[in-house]
Structure 1
Amino acid sequence: MFFLKYLHKTIRLPPSSFGPHMRSHVERRLYDEVEGKIDGRYGYIISVLQIVEIGAGVLQPMTGLAEFNVVYRALVMKVFKNMVVDGVVTVVNPLGFWVEVGPMTMFVASALIPSYFKYDPSANPPAFVSDFGDESGQASRIEKGIAIRARIIGIRTEATDIFCVGTIKEDYLGPQAGV
């Protein structure tokens, strides 16, 4: 799920950034351009941990910009199909519920929820409520703010987001008590 990767990025600086603090301009531009962004090959770049090398700048004759090849080490999050993840429920509706797992969003459809969970339209907030209780005798609920464990069964990566489809229709998946 979390990996340390050495990555490369070309940073372009305008002539107004040239001078004694050019290195700090390159570093700041790198942080702004890559942290919190998605790279289709490596996943979500959480943080730049170390700048390994900043290459010599090359002036581009047509634009006047300087290009710097930067090698950096980053903490990335990549999810895979069949991976079990923990998240927090953000939205519940009759079709299923949405879960935030770090920076990504996962949808669990009602068909992928065990049959003993029934949608309760009169609940406030809306919730899926189980027919039987947990160890303490209380009915198990899936509602906004509840910690949930789910298995990823499908992934779609876009330029700015990672979307997943998940299931809780297996053993040890579903609402997590005391998390």
Structure 2
Amino acid sequence: MPTRVHEFAWPDRVVIGTIGLPGARTFYLQVRAGTQIVSVALEKQQSAQLAEKIDELLDQLSTVKDNPFSVPSSSPVELDDNEPLESPVEQFRAGAMSLGWDPTTAQVVIEAYPIDADVDDLDEPLENNGPEDTEMLLVRMPVGTARAFTKRTHEIVAAGRPSCAFCGYPMDPEGHTCTLPEV
């Protein structure tokens, strides 16, 4: 199957957003450049881990002598994005993801593959063996945009259901049956 690559080299917008109420939210990684929009469904944990790993990468890069990539220590205010997701909302559900750094452009690189894609097969010769093509998302974002992305993502993830102080599980608005560990 040919791989359709949704590539964004200098996106206008890169955000994590949700649809639904806490406890039933679906998370999306949405990227836009001009009129091209791609939204990929993620798990909450994927969203949180992506933001955490980007922060770790940027923190590590900011310690390089003289900070040659001008990595900001926090999100530049002018890049904060609190707007809702744009339509269309889902292209595919992400499974495997990778994170990288391109020092030639000082950009964070994210790759997302569909949950059912075999990432090892994407480099093989393209053959049309089925009705559906394989897709992938390739996003390159500058360091300031990456910091704004992680700030918003942390806020979105934290805006879910509160955790029980005793068992740590999320509490639903209807109530919570705490499963305290036996002593």
TM superposition score category, shorter chain reference? under 0.3
The higher relative CO (CA closer than 8 Å, separation ≥ 6) is in: 2
Higher percent of residues as strand: 1
Higher percent of residues as helix: 2
Q: Name the TM-score, length of structure 1 as normaliser.
A: 0.27
Structure exhibiting the larger radius of gyration computed from Cα positions:
1
Q: Name the TM-score, length of structure 2 as normaliser.
A: 0.27
